Amino acid sequence: MLDEIRAKILRREYEFSRHAVDQSITRAIRVSEIEEAIANRCEIIED
């Protein structure tokens, strides 16, 4: 499943929920940082 998610991220086939957008703004996290973290096989610690 995670490989499928990573492939979609690399192809930019994803959408952020409104909550995710709000949180990324609040925490000053850029989309490129999220893409990089997922593409570099970071550890996912929450469902």
pLDDT digits (tens, 9 = 90+) for 1-47: 778 888 898 899 999 999 999 999 999 999 999 888 888 777 777 76
- The whole-angstrom separation of Cα 6 and Cα 41 is 8
pTM of the predicted structure, to 2 decimals: 0.65
Q: What is the pLDDT of residue 5?
A: 85
What are the distances in angstroms from CA 15 to CA 8, 12, 29? Answer: 10, 9, 16
- The whole-angstrom separation of Cα 13 and Cα 27 is 23
The torsion region of residue 26 among left (phi > 0), alpha (psi -120 to 50) and beta comes to alpha
Q: Is the separation of the CB atoms in 34 and 1 below 8 Å?
A: no
